[in-house]
Amino acid sequence: MSILPGSTLGMLGGGQLGRMFVTAARTLGYEVIVLDPDPNSPAGGLARDYDDTAALDFLSHNCAVVTTEFENIPAVTLAYLAKSVPVRPSATALHIAQHRKLEKQFFREQGLNTVEFAAIENEDDLAAAREFCFPAILKTAMLGYDGKGQVLCENFDALASAFEQVGGKPCVLEQLIELEREVSVVLCRSLAGQVSCFSIAENSHSNGILDVTIAPALISQELADEAIDAATRIAHGLDYCGVLAVEFFISGDQRVLVSEMAPRPHNSGHYTLDACETSQFEQQVRMVCDLPAGSCHQHSPVAMWNLLGDIWPRNGLPDWDALLKMEHAKLHLYGKAEARPGRKMGHVNCLGATRDDALSQLEDLRTILGRAESPKARR
């Protein structure tokens, strides 16, 4: 049965994704209760730990459904809530997404291609990796995001020190490949299994953090269809409900390789807020409430730039006045009190008549705000 406006939704996580979900939900007429340990989280709400059973009971008694804004919510928290209230997406989906080895094994089970990888969990695994094809990247199996918990290994001799550097935690070793570009598919899947996909986005990163997203991606229709099919198979394999993002590598020899998934709205989907008929956050509301999906149609080419704390002057603010004079630049700030290097403070969507026009506007804006180097996304 559909959950209609006037109902109360629960959100686990109060970061910027939770904030944008709350905005979409309230626009549609829903109330939202947010649970996050940080009393100053961007989304606000109930400041309690995720294992606080009294807070979880409050959610289950007052919410028609509970959803999440990031994948590292403890699975036991979701399982506890699921006893008394619908939780979408499921604890199973988050559990797989939380662990790189489980995630890659799941992708392979769906018949999908990934880069070559090996689990590194102990000294025996280290020794066995001597036959692995280097260079490679060692990544912690859990709690790694935005480039954190990753060490480049040029050869086998560097692996042991890299494993020590990450504290001997369970890891996945991934082979480096000749990379042409990185893309992502953001989709939504309903309880009944209906899937709708946004335009494929092309992404470039800086220091492991997403820097620029351009949509639509400049790839062939054949590669686009392959990526969409892979993301859809993942969603069906998880029996997923909600918004799901799947990131891909496009190799130099034109292979589509699944990199990772995010069981939630995604940074690379922020362009949908201004360039699509329905945003990824409205789609999340619609899916968890068992409503039909809105149109994913993209009405304008767009270039999205992540605004990190690096562009904040030591004393003061970036030149918002100059940005706001650009009529096709759409500013989104997350309400974070302190700007720090590498911290996502907001994003801006530059809309254009063409893909190149959008990217040109973004490059002008980066110069104005003190980030002159051009994004590496291909034209």
Taking a C-beta distance cutoff of 8 angstroms, is the pair 378, 202 a contact? yes
Mean pLDDT of 211-219: 97
Whole-model pTM above 0.85?
A: yes
Q: Please report the pLDDT score of residue 296 as a whole number.
A: 98
Q: Are residues 330 and 235 in the same domain?
A: yes
Question: Residue 43: which domain range?
Answer: 8-87
Q: Are residues 274 and 240 in the same domain?
A: yes
Q: How confident is the model at residue 46 (pLDDT cuts 50, 70, 90)?
A: confident
Q: Are residues 146 and 243 in the same domain?
A: no
110-121 pLDDT, tens per residue?
999 999 999 999
Taking a C-beta distance cutoff of 8 angstroms, is the pair 61, 48 a contact? no
Q: Please check whether residue 34 lies inside any domain of the structure.
A: yes
Residue ranges of E strands in 309-357:
329-333, 344-351
Residue 378 has pLDDT above 50, yes or no: no
Q: Are residues 140 and 255 in the same domain?
A: no
Q: Please check whether residue 252 lies inside any domain of the structure.
A: yes
* Mean model confidence pLDDT for the chain: 94
Mean pLDDT of 32-57: 93
Number of domains in the chain: 3
Residue 348 CA from chain centroid, whole number: 16
- Kind and range of the H or E element at 289? none
Q: Please check whether residue 105 lies inside any domain of the structure.
A: no
334-357 pLDDT, tens per residue?
999 899 999 999 999 999 999 999
Q: Are residues 184 and 170 in the same domain?
A: no
Q: Are residues 63 and 203 in the same domain?
A: no
Q: Are residues 225 and 278 in the same domain?
A: yes
Q: Please report the pLDDT score of residue 146 as a whole number.
A: 59
Q: Are residues 203 and 333 in the same domain?
A: yes
Residue 379 has pLDDT above 50, yes or no: no
Q: Please check whether residue 3 lies inside any domain of the structure.
A: no
- The contacts of residue 312 (CB under 8 Å, 6+ apart) are 318, 339, 345
- Kind and range of the H or E element at 204? strand 201-206
Q: Are residues 154 and 263 in the same domain?
A: no
276-333 pLDDT, tens per residue?
999 999 999 999 999 999 999 999 999 999 999 999 998 889 999 999 999 999 999 9
Q: Please check whether residue 110 lies inside any domain of the structure.
A: no
Q: Please check whether residue 22 lies inside any domain of the structure.
A: yes
CATH code for the domain in which residue 202 is found:
3.30.470.20
Q: Are residues 214 and 287 in the same domain?
A: yes
Best CA proximity match to 62, nearest among 9, 1, 4, 3: 9
Best CA proximity match to 89, nearest among 165, 183, 13, 147: 13
Q: What percent of the chain has pLDDT over 90?
A: 87
Q: Are residues 356 and 218 in the same domain?
A: yes
83-108 pLDDT, tens per residue?
999 999 999 999 999 999 999 999 99
Is the sign of the CA dihedral 258, 262, 265, 268 positive or negative?
negative
Compute the half-sphere exposure of residue 26: CA atoms within 13 Å on the CB side of its CA: 12
Residue 211 has pLDDT above 60, yes or no: yes
Paired residues of 139 in beta bridges:
150, 172
Paired residues of 118 in beta bridges:
173
Residue 374 has pLDDT above 60, yes or no: no
CATH code for the domain in which residue 49 is found:
3.40.50.20
CATH code for the domain in which residue 170 is found:
3.30.1490.20
Q: Please check whether residue 158 lies inside any domain of the structure.
A: yes
Q: Are residues 329 and 194 in the same domain?
A: yes
d(CA 50, CA 29): 26
**Which residue, of 159, 175, 191, is where some domain finishes?**
175
Q: Please check whether residue 216 lies inside any domain of the structure.
A: yes
131-178 pLDDT, tens per residue?
899 999 999 998 766 567 789 999 998 998 999 998 899 999 999 999
